[in-house]
Structure 1
Amino acid sequence: MHMASTQTLSHLHTVAQEQLEPCFVYDLDALRTHLNTLMDQDVVTLWYAVKANPLSAIVRTLAECGFRFDVASSGELQQVLAQEVPAQQVLNTGPAKSRRQIKQFIELGVRTFVAESLNQVRWLNEAALEHDVQLKLLLRVQLRWPKGEKNPLGGDSLTPFGLDPQHWHGLYLADYPALQCIGVHIFQWGNMLSADKLLSLWQQMLPPLQALSEKLGFAMQVLDLGGGLGVPYDEHSEPLAWQDVLNALAQIKQQSGVQELWMELGRYAVAECGYYLNPVVEQKENYGEQQLIVSGGINHLLRPAVAGQAFPCRLLRESHAPLQAFNIHGPLCTALDSLGTHNLPLDINEDDWLVFSQTGAYGFTESMPFFLCHPLAAEYVIDNEQLHLLRESASPSSYLR
C-alpha cells in the first residue's frame, strides 16, 4: 500500500489526538510533487475530473500546477469557478446535460463541450446561437466488443455515455453552424494498471473513431481518451508508471495523427494524497473469524460497496504483534457496510485508529453520509508542512430539520 512520509504520519497522529470521529487528511505537498511530474511533458493535455474530489484546496492546487478541469454538473462548475479558474479552462462532460444546464454553462463562459447524444448537439447549437457564441464540440463515442472486461464504467457493457458510431452517422454537422466539431471523446475502462493493456485498447479504438470523423467530414484535431489510469488498492498490484503511460500515449498520438491528446485524470491525479482516519470501536470473534467494528464505514467510504474493492488499511500506531486477517465493518445497520478484509496486528484494540490510504479520490463526496445520522467527517490538509483543519466534524443536528 502507499506509505505516508514520516512527517505526514506525524500529522496523522496529531489529528487522531484531536478528533473523536473519523476524518480525512489530504497531503497537498505530496500532491504538488505528483502533479508537477504529470505536467512535465508535452504529449498530452491534462484535465482534472472534479468528481474525484471537489475540495476547494484540491482544486486550487491542481489549477496552480496547470491542470484544466472536467466538470459534469452545475455544482462542480460553481465550485471550480469559485477557485478563480477561468471558464475557458473548463470542459463540460457527463450524460445528463439539460437545456437549462447548457445555457447556464454558456452564460458562465464555458465554450468546450462533450456531446453525448444528438439531442445535446441540437441543444448546444440552439443555446450558442441564442447567446451569439461559437462552441467547440467533441462527440462521445461508445464502442462494444464481443469479449471484454466489465467495471463500474461499463467496459463492453451498454452505458448511457455517448452513442455508438452508427447513430452518430446520422449527424449532419452543417446543420449546426454555431458548433465547431474538433474531435471525439471515448472512455470505457476504469482503474487500469497496465500501460500495455491501455495501449492495446486505445489502438483498437482508433479505426472506428477515424472512420467516424471521415464519415461526418470533420478533421479529428483532438482525441480525448478520458481517464481510467489506475492506482493499486492491494499489496499485490504494481503501480502504473507514468513514463510507460506517456510512451503509450505518444504512440497513439502518432498513429491517430491528431494535433492534441486529452486525458481527464481523477483517481490517478489525487488518490495518493488522501488518508482516512477511523477509530476502532471493538474487536470480536464470530464463527472463527476476527472482526473489527469501526466508527466510520460506507457512510464515509462508499467505494468498497460499489466497486467490491477496499481501500488499503493499516494500524496508525506501530505494533510488533503477529498479523491476523480482520473483517472490518462500519457502524451502519447493513451488511453492505464492510471496508474489506485486512491483515492487521492482533493486539489492536478500542483505543486504536486505522488509516485508510488512496482516499484522495472517491472518498467523502462519493459517500452516503446521512444514513443512520452519524457525524459528517472532518477534513484536514497538510500544506507547506503545516496541518490545517478545513471543516469540523458536523453533528446530525446540523443537517437534520
Structure 2
Amino acid sequence: MPIASTTLQHLNTVAQEQFEPCFVYDLDFLRDHLSTLMDQDVVKLWYAVKANPLSAIVRTLAETGFRFDVASEGELQQVLAQEVPASQVLNTGPAKSRRQIDKFIALGVRTFVAESLNQVRWLNEAALAHDVQLQLLLRVQLRWPKGEKNPLGGDSLTPFGLDPQQWRGLYLADYPALQCIGVHIFQWGNMLSADKLLSLWQQMLPPLKALSEQLGFALQVLDLGGGLGVPYDDNSASLQWQDVLRALAQIKRESGVQELWMELGRYAVAECGYYLNPVVEQKENYGEHQLIVSGGINHILRPAVAGQAFPCTLLRESQAKPRKFNIHGPLCTALDSLGTHTLAQDVNENDWLVFSQTGAYGFTESMPFFLCHPMAAEYIIDNNVLHLLRESASANSYLR
C-alpha cells in the first residue's frame, strides 16, 4: 500500500531527528479506518488489545466505539487507565487463574469467555463471593475426524477452549451466578478471503448450535473471534470490509443469533503503523546481496515467529535498478531476518527502510532486551501533528 504524502513527510522528519529505529502510528488514518468498520449494524466489534496496547491507540479505538478484548491483568489495567468502563471489557485467554478472575470481577468486568470446566466453576464461585451475575461464553475447539478435510486449517491441538464432548458434561443449573449467552470459536489467522471465511463459519454452525441445544441455553451470541487479515506482500489482495459484512450478515441469518461478535486486532490497527529502520551496510555473500540494519526481531519479531515478513520500502526515492536483498537485523542469531525484499540497488548506510503494517504485532510482540540494543522510540501522528511518545532508551534504563 503506498504511503500517503502527508504521512511520508512525517516519516522523513522522524528520520532526520532519530539515529535509532522507531515506530510511527498514524492516528488520523486509524480514525478514518475505524469509522468505516463501525458504520454498520451487523456485528459488535471488540479490539484485541494484544495487537497493540499503546495508550493512544486504545483511546482512539474507544473514541470510535470499540469495546475491548483483554487477556491479562496488565491489558485490563492499561484499558481502564484510558477511562474505558469495565462494562466495555471482555475477558478472553486460556490462563484465567482464580486470582485473576477475582481481580477482574473486583474491577467491574462482567463478561467472560470460559476456556475450561474449571474456569466455569471458578467464575461462578467468584461471582457468588462478589454477589454479582456474570455473562458467559463457552469457547469451543473443533476438530474434524482423521482423514477428512479440516475446514479450520489443521488438526493441531491448542489450549483454547474445549471440544464439544467435554462441554456436554456441563450442567449450567449448577452455576446460578452465570448466564450463558453464547459460544466463542476462533481457530484461524490472517484470512484474506471473505468467501473462505464464510465457508468456515457455515461449517461450524451445526456443531455449535447442537451444543447449545444439548446444554439447554439459547444461542444469543456467536463470537467469531478475529482472524481478518492484512496483506504482507504485493501478490495478496486486501480483504474488503463490505465483503466481510455480507458474509457476516449471512451467518447471522443462518445462525439465528441476536448478536455476532468479533475481536479485531490486526485488521483494526496494522495499517496505521510504520517501523523506520536505518541501514548499517550493504554487502554480498556467495552471490546474495544483504542489508544489515539497526533493528531486527528485537523490535519486530513476527518474521521469525510467523515466517512472514513485514512489507518494506526505501524511504527516499531512487532511480536505480531494483535488486533483491536479504535483510538482517543486529542480533547474533540467524533467526534475525526481516525477509527478502526488492529495493533500489543503490541503498546504502545513509538510508532508512520503512516496514509497514506494523501497527499490529510490532513492538510489544518483540524481544527488545536481547543483546542490549536500544529500545525503539514511538511516535504518533495526531491531527497531522507529529508527537514523540517515548524516546529511544539504552539498556542501562532497565538493567540493574
User: Shared fold (TM-score greater than 0.5)?
Assistant: yes
Q: CA deviation at 1:287?
A: 0.2
Q: CA deviation at 1:150?
A: 7.9
Q: Distance in 2 between matches of 1:30 and 1:149?
A: 35
SS in structure 2 at match of 1:375: coil
* 1:144 correspondence with 2:146: no
SS in structure 2 at match of 1:264: strand
Amino acid at match of 2:7: T
Kept in 2, the 8 Å contact 1:49–1:69? The answer is yes
Q: Distance in 2 between matches of 1:13 and 1:222?
A: 46
* 1:99 correspondence with 2:101: no
Q: Distance in 2 between matches of 1:144 and 1:58?
A: 36
Aligned pair in 2 of structure 1 residues 369, 149: CA closer, same or farther (>3 Å)? farther
Aligned pair in 2 of structure 1 residues 276, 143: CA closer, same or farther (>3 Å)? same
Structure 2 runs not aligned, ≥5 long: none
What corresponds to 2:84 in structure 1? 85
Overall identity of the aligned pairs, in %: 85
Render the CA deviation track for 1:118-163: whole Å, top value 9, x for unaligned.
0000000000000000000000000012434787xxx531100000
Kept in 2, the 8 Å contact 1:190–1:227? The answer is yes
Kept in 2, the 8 Å contact 1:229–1:240? The answer is yes
What corresponds to 2:25 in structure 1? 26
SS in structure 1 at match of 2:341: strand
SS in structure 1 at match of 2:388: strand
Q: Distance in 2 between matches of 1:150 and 1:214?
A: 23
Kept in 2, the 8 Å contact 1:137–1:183? The answer is yes
> Within 5 A, what are the aligned runs for 1:1-400?
2-145=1-144, 146-148=148-150, 155-400=154-399
Equivalenced residue count is 397
Q: Distance in 2 between matches of 1:21 and 1:362?
A: 20
Kept in 1, the 8 Å contact 2:152–2:187? The answer is no
Amino acid at match of 1:259: Q
Render the CA deviation track for 1:220-241: whole Å, top value 9, x for unaligned.
0000000000000000000000
Kept in 2, the 8 Å contact 1:143–1:156? The answer is no
Render the CA deviation track for 1:94-127: whole Å, top value 9, x for unaligned.
0000000000000000000000000000000000
Kept in 2, the 8 Å contact 1:328–1:340? The answer is yes
Amino acid at match of 1:57: A
Q: Distance in 2 between matches of 1:209 and 1:313?
A: 41
Q: CA deviation at 1:85?
A: 0.2
Render the CA deviation track for 1:235-265: whole Å, top value 9, x for unaligned.
0000000000000000000000000000000
Amino acid at match of 1:161: F
Structure 1 runs not aligned, ≥5 long: none
Q: CA deviation at 1:3?
A: 1.8
Q: After TM superposition, which residue ranges in structure 1, 4 or more long, deviate above 6 angstroms?
A: none
Amino acid at match of 1:147: K
- TM (norm. structure 1) is 0.98
Q: Distance in 1 between matches of 2:165 and 2:143?
A: 12
Kept in 1, the 8 Å contact 2:283–2:289? The answer is yes
Kept in 2, the 8 Å contact 1:113–1:136? The answer is yes
Q: Distance in 2 between matches of 1:141 and 1:7?
A: 45
Kept in 2, the 8 Å contact 1:156–1:188? The answer is no
Taking only aligned residues, the RMSD between alpha carbons, in angstroms, comes to 0.8
Q: CA deviation at 1:387?
A: 0.1
Q: Distance in 2 between matches of 1:141 and 1:266?
A: 20
Amino acid at match of 1:117: S
